[in-house]
Chains A and B, each alone.
Chain A
Amino acid sequence: MSVATTDRAVTRDDLVDFVYDEVRMLDEGRWDDWLKLWLPDGMYWMPLDYKQTDPIHETSLMWEDQFMLRLRVERLNGARTFSQKPKSRCHHVIQRPYVDRIDNAAGEYVVVTQMHYVETRLDDQMLLALTARHDLVREGDALRIRQKRVDILNCDAAFGNIQLLP
């Protein structure tokens, strides 16, 4: 983790590095490291509708707690995970994140990152344009994800399988 000492303020670079580190974990399939980035009640939200405001009473593509995220990543390595034979691979290309909020007094931070997400399996390759919003909190010397919201530019289009994590 990039925040070395507990009494140092979180900087813009810390937040930017956090986002870069996270997508690298996803691209390299380091799922156990990735799960450790989350608060126990952290939620991953991928809306289905453009500018959706309600994740609960309408359908989303994802609105997942830590149990679901753990299930999702553990499944990827299962012996009978048929849709992952052969496995998918993914690749994030991210723009310099916008740091929208640094509140060291509250220990709360908001980072918004635009990115291109590429996922491939067999002869197919898919490109998604995304905006990811990280709501982060400081926990001791580490940053943790309270909520990650991923808006897909064409969220209302019909997709085939999206199997890994943007």
Chain B
Amino acid sequence: MGLSTRQDIEALVTPFQVHRDVYTSAEVYRLEMKHLFANTWVFVGHDSQVPNKGDYYTTQVGDQPVIMVRHSDGEVKVLYNRCPHKGTKIAIDRTGNTGKFFRCPYHAWSFKTDGCLLAIPLKKGYDGTGLSETESAKGMKAVGAVEVYRGFVFARLAPEGIGFAEFFGDSLSSIDNMVDRSPAGRLEVAGQPLRYMHRCNWKMLVENQTDTCHPMVAHESSAGTAVRIWEEMDAPEGTPKPAAMQIIAPFMSPYEFFEEMGIRTWPNGHGHTGVHHSIHSAYSEIPGYMDAMTAAYGEERATAILGENRHNTVYFPNIMIKGPIQQLRNFIPLGPDKTLVESWIYRLVDAPDELVARTAMYNRMINAPTSIVGHDDLEMYERAQEGLMSDGLEWVNVQRLYREGEDFDTTAEENGTTERQMRNQFHAWVKFMTASMPRDAAREAAE
């Protein structure tokens, strides 16, 4: 398949259907890495992962290996993880402290923590060679742009393109709510992330975040069984429910619950479930928390912050956050049919420890490779990836509650079971895939 122009990409997405190639084609995947993940603002990490100067964290943006590092001026930099000499990755460990400079382990070229070339051993060997005129002499290359929003670090690989504020717009209200839940207005990363390998396309995972018609079906075996066991125990009135009942049982909520919770979509592919309430609304109160929030914000504002119980917020292209429980899931593409899911949790600074305990519980019960809920999700994705290889049908359907003439450039609130957010993502997918692609003028004239 040759996909050389924006028309080729546009042809893969109709208002309510998506061609299966967007999930299966190696060519589409290559173009996603080259265009989509370069033109959008992609999550890198949290600044509490690099609290001190010289602290670094290695990860990737799309398929690009990068280092997030705290520079000597206190700012967070994001550099390509590649020596400008021979290409050697500068750092391999996931985290560390490099002091005042990076030093390549191959030939000892060294770089300041903003990437600038510091020194080369036996430098006179380059006298008169013109090295200073090359890209290599500039040091480790920085990504196109970096923005730290309330601790969350995002990068745009492309030097030119949409600005951070325009790209995210009002969707930043979900990050705001997550961080505002700390009486100090700050989050800190807690422990290591779950790392869960999926043999499916990364977009299946992103779509599933606002798929409210699957929990009661795919998760009947875990959530339904939990409810049955609890009923069979016939515990006396007032017996505290087991933790699993609070975390897993809401997945069995009826369709009406999910319809009424609502979905909000924002421009550029962002959106969230749980406009009015969510599966996180009925969590028990933690002693001392409301007092700390009231002391920090006043009663009215504290009540407003805690009254917002958004379920899953998708930040296009590839992360989801849960504001009420301070969880972030990063759907890292590794190939057309391979995705690494990292699930991070954060501690609310100055809030009681019981909150991060509940967050850790949610993370392991729902999103671990050992999770009885995760098992059935992975099973669905991998079956879909295999099923899409069938030539019986070429199109994937995202038509639930579709209306002709949907305008994704405006914010909308709809019935919580709509697939509008999936359509919103594909609208943005086309936009940012093609933003830097040539148009085929001849073909356009013919059309």
Chain A residues near B (Cβ < 8 Å): 46, 48-49, 52, 54, 56-63, 65, 67-68, 70-72, 74-75, 78, 80-84, 156-163
Contacts and interface: CB of A to CB of B under 8 A. Distances in A.
A78 B221 contact: yes
B364 A63 contact: yes
Interface of B: 190-199, 218, 220-222, 224-226, 229, 242-245, 248, 340, 343, 345, 347, 353, 356-357, 360-361, 363-365, 368-370, 372, 374-376, 378-380
A75 B244 contact: no
A82 B218 contact: yes
**Chain A CB within 10 A, most for which of B356, B363, B376:** B376
Judged by DSSP, the binding face of B is helix
Nearest to B375: A83
30 contacts: A48-B191, A48-B368, A52-B191, A57-B191, A57-B347, A57-B353, A57-B360, A58-B190, A59-B193, A59-B194, A59-B343, A59-B368, A60-B360, A62-B370, A65-B243, A67-B229, A67-B242, A68-B242, A68-B243, A71-B248, A75-B225, A78-B221, A82-B379, A83-B221, A84-B221, A157-B195, A158-B196, A159-B196, A160-B197, A161-B379
Contacts of A163: 375
Nearest to A163: B375
B229 A70 contact: yes
B370 A71 contact: no
A50 to B, nearest CB: 9
B369 A160 contact: yes
Contacts of B194: 48, 59, 61
A74 B248 CA distance: 15
A46 B194 CA distance: 12
A83 B379 contact: yes
A71 B242 CA distance: 11
Contact of A58 (B192, B199, B376): B192
A90 to B, nearest CB: 13
B360 A71 contact: no
A89 to B, nearest CB: 15
B340 A160 contact: no
B244 A68 contact: yes
Contacts of B356: 57
A159 B195 contact: yes
Given A70-B229, A160-B199, A56 B357 contact: yes
Contacts of A67: 229, 242-245
A67 B240 CA distance: 12
Nearest to A50: B192
A61 B343 contact: no
B369 A162 contact: yes
Given A160-B378, A161-B374, A59 B191 contact: yes
A24 B336 CA distance: 40
Given A56-B353, A67-B229, A82-B221, 6 more contacts: A59-B363, A74-B229, A82-B376, A156-B192, A158-B196, A158-B369
A81 B374 CA distance: 12
A75 B374 CA distance: 13
Nearest to B195: A158
Contact of B197 (A54, A61, A70, A158): A158
A100 B428 CA distance: 59
B376 A71 contact: no
Contacts of A75: 221-222, 225, 372
